[in-house]
Structure 1
């Protein structure tokens, strides 16, 4: 209507009034309401900024500058990246992600792997080469030898590289991303110091040896993005938790599948999840809920934490060494955390009060992955788009936000930035061509360079440099000795003679690393030499857990000695939960025997090792009763499929829950109780503490919120009824089935509801 308000503007104003009302209902400081209105007016629209304009939208830590490395059309929707030995960027472009709020066309094969190169050394990529195209939602990549690992759900491929063109293609894992949706599938493909490749949102690890791919179980870790520190410990997060991580080398402690949780892994490193955006961020999935936004409509806590990186280069200065940077695309910012060690514990805190390392006023700035570069810069992958939430859990509220500010298009943008100190001119370090150059690079100050040099040594399997590696191992400085240690392990050249001198002295942190490599060294001829050192390590609280973790390798050649050391350790530390869990981790299917021994030794029921062992035995009993009935899968095929797609990745395939993510569905009174209550939770979500089987689960032990699927058009009410009937009768559960009409009745009762339920409401 000429001279009047358009429908879109009226819709926008309606949403604006709703948000003003929301802000008015929340506790407000002085001037909060005015601030809220002013901020909302200032950011009423989210225009697409050019790369140059986007740079002006950033507020960055003093003393640093941010530079554009690549932007559309050179790069589009970057989600993952790796550098090759020459500093070129290999980038996964997830072009097909969420073309609209319904996810229309996500199955179109338009994803690519591209190579970006800076040929003149000015810090900007000036060439683009398409290595692979016609991919569906590629999500992770890693260079291994003369090939590239590529994750394209559900498969993991290894593709040989021939002059920057794809060669022979090998299927590494047909079920790399089995189950889950785009937000809840494995990713990362981090080549860790221990020569294995680890993923976030996964309990598998991979390694190429003698031309064949190995796949093993490991601890389940994180959601999106994974990184390591200078000691090879892994760090990760989930969408609502700043930083999680391990205290010990990643290959340890996963021997016992009966044990659901091993202390020292998946630890909450930075419990503070507060965020400090510099613009209103109403475009978050649960922005309508009290406490999600503050009185200025800014995100209070993480809702999309991802892409962590441990900074490992002197370029930023000593205060930044070993800092953890975490991306938050929903709040358009990057957080800095300071980490410190105390024994084998890693503690972390946010670097600043009430501000961030980097924040933007541009709503389309979507940092999803962070990397340390071979030049010492911090690299930022920015999807640069309006929609960041996947359709599976997209709320009507967020759909309205997307519509109000026209966030659906464009779909062909993407940015890569690097952050460096002001007035610095860092140069990419290019590792030389000879094996001797690679050994020398293990002493470089940049963690990426050291990692890459080690990988090149292991990939090439050049045994002629073993003497140089041994010399570095014996007399090297800093972290070069650790890289030499694991490089020798990767060459299958590490011997007891190399290791024994390393276990002298009082450097317990170094001893833990040396102990971690022993499973690759121990054999029948050297176990007698190494055994006394393992026994000695078991007598110290700082090394006892790692000494226990390696005992299965000892048991292959000296079973009696292994049992003797194990018994001595748990007798010495019966109330240390890290030692207790380590002991349980090496006694698969011998838990009852250990419990009998503990009771005979000391009848005290409060002993930590006894209590933790009894919990494992309960889990074993539950698991034995909880095997899925194939008849149930046949009766509810859609329910089983929906479980794998939207439930399994947080609640576990066995329904027993996953640490840091979600509580159990098995033996859950919420699942088997009143079906109307379960329907309401599945449709509209659940927030806050929840009690399951006598235990209260709350953040940060689990993710504090479970999203609902009421607004997802993919799932019919008949599908949702099948899902709940499946859950109510899976594993050890037994309850009345749910019908389509039951679901419809609950929808009718709560028509128009967006807000998640709390357990108090549902009572």
Structure 2
């Protein structure tokens, strides 16, 4: 670790002569047809002000430059502190060339950017940490910062903007997957837990200890929340995915694969509308990937989603989602609506985007709300965006044609604001009374940050102000954040939660139900059980799934009371998907006993409750037949390692696939059957739909495409043979061995092939 002065002296001579820094630029461009007559045969690096001039944004908005090289380089993620400074992750080592050579060099950094003269543009830079290998996300908390540097998650204490010792939080935070498929996000949610994309862990700091719990597996790159603490995410080919319920519930039963209300397609329409040809995508040669104008038709690199929660854009933009698509050089806007529990959305426009650019190097990878109500855009500004593991020969040729490999030292951060509207950067004061007032601010980001600061400070003088504000029925958002702040400082009392459970406003009741796991104890569980029974008696159907989830936390104190709540729910809502899945999620390895206990009153096997219980029972029995994973890993060590890095993140460690990503490998006829078909799929990829065990998997149930790994120079025929033998002998698969020569024969047979296979081709 090395400390840097405020202004960086140099990045690299080669990048400095092409990448330039500009102090302050404001521009908007809504010209239609701006791409007509432009030569796209080259993609030169242009300065930030010129790149802005190549963007087309929705009428009424401006794009403002906040930082550019040399002040920032290759940014991929950021976070604001209480003073409004930006802490930025620089992944400088990403894809140094088209082969990814040199990615293991420790040149990544965490830097602090500050706008000292308050003109809206960062003017100083401090390097907090350097010598990092591909850092990917950060989270400021208490007197330190979490830093994800694969495979580890570290907590660094901060003293005078310098690291003052570190603690290992998780040695295996990102030990699986390549750069495109490793955990990231580290987002502090409304419930005071830290959640991630491409991961099933959540984290919380209690004193000097870090608590790690399992939760739902979510997304790929980027994670965000709405005003009610529900999480949203996506994968590279999916617009937006989200949860209908609070994030901490529903993941406790491994026998229940997929829980209604989690990992739901929020926006099913994946169409995109670039304003330039986008031939530089990995499968640009595949029919249907590009339209007649050679422009990307559907998401292939969706990432960095954010629910806009600021107070600048106006009512039409409340509860809107924005999604980045770096390969299409655009940012999409989605409009979300709620019907009961279901959150669904649609694209804001047809045939156009909220923001799109004709600059191929404009690579928006992460989007954020800001303390001034603006929408912040992290632009990696790089030619190569596809990781080496999946780069096809076609794409390498595209890199070479337009010299996309260089330079490497660029990067920009922008913010989007309404035209002619003054922004006001809100910083978090230390006065507790002022802090409590900010918990009701119209800007959701300010509410979040204030809550986090108060939880971190644990100032006892703030508690009387918090408790007084808890009774403010005129501002439900303030009530919600006050409640979670009190929870975060261990000052939330039973009588307060019971009062909130009776609140006339549903969103307040929902938060009170969500906080129960933190407050139930030996002296309070009976009061909460009575309150939950009363909600059932009141026919509060909105509360019903939450009651099922909450009952699980009464179980350690009184299992009979917990079961009585569940029985009451299934008798009243035996076919409600959300209620039933919530009930079954609380019954790991007790499904059969529960099924027998309700058999007399609910004998119909076609009821949702009985179907889901039986599915969970069958899944458990099936899992018992699985082979010993450690034994298989010893037989095929290279295969086990390659499965971990390239396959598990989509197909799951148990081989049963992951909702919205990939179908099962366990007991799949494609895995256990014809060797040549399986080898072909893994080497060259597969384009869906595909039928597995009688079920047709297609988008949006799974991703439309599986990339091949046969073009990677780092993966040999022996490696491919090993990973195939690993999956053909894992779980309940029992197939014959694949020889290295058989892999080589397929490589020779399809020499020069770039496109992925379809099921129809393979069956021929």
Shift of 1:696: 1.6
Partner of 2:4: none
In the aligned structure 1, how far is the partner of 2:629 from the partner of 2:276? Answer: 51
Alignment check: 8 A CA contact 1:196 1:207 kept: yes
In the aligned structure 2, how far is the partner of 1:554 from the partner of 1:466? Answer: 27
Partner of 1:654: 654
Shift of 1:41: 6.6
Partner of 1:294: 291
Correspondence 1:558 to 2:558? yes
Give the secondary structure class of the aligned counterpart of 1:541: coil
Moved more, 254-263 or 581-590: 254-263
Shift of 1:225: 0.3
1:491 to 489, 492, 495: 489
List alignment gaps of at least 5 residues for structure 1.
1-34
Partner of 1:17: none
Shift of 1:598: 4.4
1:533 to 531, 534, 537: 531
Correspondence 1:141 to 2:157? no
Shift of 1:503: 2.1
Report how many residues are paired. 727
Partner of 2:635: 635
Correspondence 1:397 to 2:394? yes
Cα RMSD of the aligned pairs, angstroms, is 1.4
Alignment check: 8 A CA contact 1:343 1:509 kept: no
Alignment check: 8 A CA contact 2:267 2:345 kept: yes
CA shift digits 1:149-202 (9 cap, x unpaired): 000000000001111111111110000002100000000000001000000000
In the aligned structure 1, how far is the partner of 2:741 from the partner of 2:254? Answer: 40
Partner of 1:425: 422
Q: Please show how residues 605-754 of structure 1 align to structure 2 within 5 Å.
A: 605-754=605-754
Give the secondary structure class of the aligned counterpart of 1:601: coil
Partner of 1:110: 107
Shift of 1:344: 2.1
Partner of 1:522: 520
Give the secondary structure class of the aligned counterpart of 2:312: helix
Give the secondary structure class of the aligned counterpart of 1:553: coil
Q: Please show how residues 313-462 of structure 1 align to structure 2 within 5 Å.
A: 313-462=310-459
Partner of 1:23: none
Partner of 1:280: 277
Give the secondary structure class of the aligned counterpart of 1:263: coil
Give the secondary structure class of the aligned counterpart of 1:532: helix
Shift of 1:505: 4.5
Shift of 1:310: 0.8
Alignment check: 8 A CA contact 1:40 1:280 kept: no
Alignment check: 8 A CA contact 2:432 2:465 kept: no
Correspondence 1:126 to 2:85? no
Moved more, 452-461 or 38-47: 38-47
The TM-score with structure 2 as length reference comes to 0.93
List alignment gaps of at least 5 residues for structure 2.
1-32
Alignment check: 8 A CA contact 1:77 1:93 kept: yes
Alignment check: 8 A CA contact 2:479 2:508 kept: no
In the aligned structure 2, how far is the partner of 1:529 from the partner of 1:670? Answer: 54
Alignment check: 8 A CA contact 2:73 2:92 kept: yes
In the aligned structure 2, how far is the partner of 1:669 from the partner of 1:600? Answer: 39
Moved more, 467-476 or 68-77: 467-476
In the aligned structure 1, how far is the partner of 2:260 from the partner of 2:659? Answer: 11
Shift of 1:336: 0.6
CA shift digits 1:492-543 (9 cap, x unpaired): 1111111122222542232111111012122222233222221133342211
Structure in which a larger fraction of residues adopt helix: 1
**Structure 1 pair 279/617, CA: closer, same or farther in 2 (3 Å)?**
same
Shift of 1:39: 6.3
Alignment check: 8 A CA contact 1:149 1:159 kept: yes
Partner of 2:581: 581
The TM-score with structure 1 as length reference comes to 0.94
In the aligned structure 2, how far is the partner of 1:46 from the partner of 1:301? Answer: 22
Alignment check: 8 A CA contact 1:328 1:334 kept: yes
In the aligned structure 2, how far is the partner of 1:710 from the partner of 1:531? Answer: 57
Partner of 2:174: 177
